[in-house]
Amino acid sequence: MTNPIWATVDFEAEGYQTGDLCLPHSVHRSAYGVLTIPVAVMSNGPGPTVLLTGGTHGDEYEGPVAIRRLLSSLSPEQIKGRIIAIPMLNAPAFRAGLRTSPEDGGNLNRSYPGDPAGGPTAIIAHYVSSVLLPLADYYHDTHAGGSSLQYLPFVSTRRSGIRELDDTALGAARAFGAERIVIWDYSPDPRLSTSEANRQKVVSLGGEFGGGGSVSRKGVHLVERGLRRLLAHWGVIEEPVPDLPAAVEYRIAGRDYYVYATRAGVFEPAVDLGDKIDGGALCGTVWSTDDLADAPQEQRFHREGTVFCLRHPGLVQPGDCLAHLATEVA
């Protein structure tokens, strides 16, 4: 089945276009309606195609703001090749300020390669998989912690097992200019955007550039500067790239890097982002919301590492991620 989304831009035309991806969505309010996803295409002659996405989760804002700032600073005459930019890829979730889509409850970054006959989220994922990634030489899907997590900012790569692809992606991550690089050796779910890019052998990057459902000024600056450096690294723009200190490289290699709540209550963290901890160290305690005589339950790390992520809201349920670690690459 062909994907039902159509575009009001021409991906093959030169110049600068803005428009929409239109996803047919028949509901009570609008029998022949569409869900619109804003898209921009900037193209000028031969060169690589770079696909930039943000808003895969609708409560993550640094990437979308930085992509829009980048687009406003460029013109077709400055580039060689093509930039396809979709700052709010999961537009229904983004407009609602939610991680998941209000149309079907779908998590776009747990939906690849998608399904053209599925709900809106699966259709968007399938469009990226079947239409956009085949056009792309390079892909960066920008993320943040959203409403439920706080993160140390980092750019990331996800191991594919293909050495040339992984080396090229790591080289791009180093060119991005972040203070930290995370190499995902462990993928908790194969339905991620960068997992799909790896399957299609498209050089891809991710990263977490903020958290808490707010807009980090530092995060926006980091993404915008990093994207410009990537465009220069990939030969899309010509501009000086100042030297920056080499990033510290980390890896996440297993389920034991994560701490999950074992009871409901209020989570009181015992660590801060960036702390280096030993295996068995206290992550925090969960206090009962019902029984004042009930002792708090300790939540402990399973291994040593650096705290890269902490839960943002205080209230937790069993199974909520409280924190995760990364370990420095020797």
- Looking up residue 315, the CATH number of its domain turns out to be 2.40.50.100
- The predicted pLDDT at position 228 comes to 98
pLDDT at 59 over 90: yes
- The predicted pLDDT at position 187 comes to 79
CB distance 80 to 46 below 8 Å: yes
Task: Report yes or no on 128 lying in a domain.
Answer: yes
Q: Which of 213, 67, 105, 91 is nearest to 151 (CA)?
A: 213
- 210, 231, 252 - which closes a domain: 252
Beta bridge partners of residue 183, listed in sequence order: 157, 251
Name the region of 283 (left: φ>0; alpha: ψ -120 to 50; beta: rest). alpha
- The predicted pLDDT at position 188 comes to 75
Q: Where are the beta strands (DSSP E) in the chain?
A: 6-7, 15-24, 34-44, 49-53, 81-86, 138-141, 149-151, 154-158, 180-184, 203-208, 248-252, 258-260, 265-269, 276-277, 282-287, 297-300, 305-311, 315-316, 321-328
Q: What confidence tens digit (pLDDT) does each residue in 166-205 have?
A: 999 999 999 999 999 999 998 778 999 999 999 999 999 9
Task: Report yes or no on 240 lying in a domain.
Answer: yes
Q: What confidence tens digit (pLDDT) does each residue in 292-320 have?
A: 999 999 999 999 999 999 999 999 999 99
For residue 157, what pLDDT band results from cuts at 50, 70 and 90?
very high
Q: What confidence tens digit (pLDDT) does each residue in 10-36 have?
A: 999 999 999 999 999 999 999 999 999
pLDDT at 284 over 80: yes
* Residues 220 and 317 grouped into a single domain: no
The three-class DSSP label of residue 105 is coil
- 225, 252, 279 - which closes a domain: 252
pLDDT at 142 over 80: yes
The three-class DSSP label of residue 152 is coil
Range of the structural domain that residue 282 is part of: 257-328
**240: which 2 tokens?**
């000086």
- The predicted pLDDT at position 93 comes to 98
pTM for the predicted model, two decimal places: 0.96
Task: Report yes or no on 1 lying in a domain.
Answer: no
Mean pLDDT, residues 231-239 taken together:
97
* Residues 77 and 129 grouped into a single domain: yes
Instruction: Name, in order, each residue with C-beta under 8 angstroms of 188's C-beta and a sequence gap of 6 or more.
Output: 255
For residue 132, what pLDDT band results from cuts at 50, 70 and 90?
very high
CB distance 176 to 229 below 8 Å: yes
Phi/psi for 285 (5° steps) reads -130, 150
Number of structural domains the chain divides into: 2
Q: Which of 151, 150, 129, 130 is nearest to 141 (CA)?
A: 129
Mean pLDDT, residues 254-278 taken together:
97
**299: which 2 tokens?**
């939540």
Q: Kindly give the pairing relationship between strand 154-158 and strand 180-184.
A: parallel
- The predicted pLDDT at position 226 comes to 98
Question: Which secondary structure element, helix H or strand E, spans residue 227, and what is its range?
Answer: helix 217-233
* Residues 180 and 321 grouped into a single domain: no
Mean pLDDT, residues 233-261 taken together:
96
* Residues 241 and 283 grouped into a single domain: no
- How many beta carbons lie within 10 A of that of residue 247, not counting itself? 17
For residue 250, what pLDDT band results from cuts at 50, 70 and 90?
very high
- The predicted pLDDT at position 153 comes to 98
Mean pLDDT, residues 45-58 taken together:
98
* Residues 27 and 116 grouped into a single domain: yes
Mean pLDDT, residues 262-267 taken together:
97
The three-class DSSP label of residue 199 is helix
Instruction: Name, in order, each residue with C-beta under 8 angstroms of 164's C-beta and a sequence gap of 6 or more.
Output: none
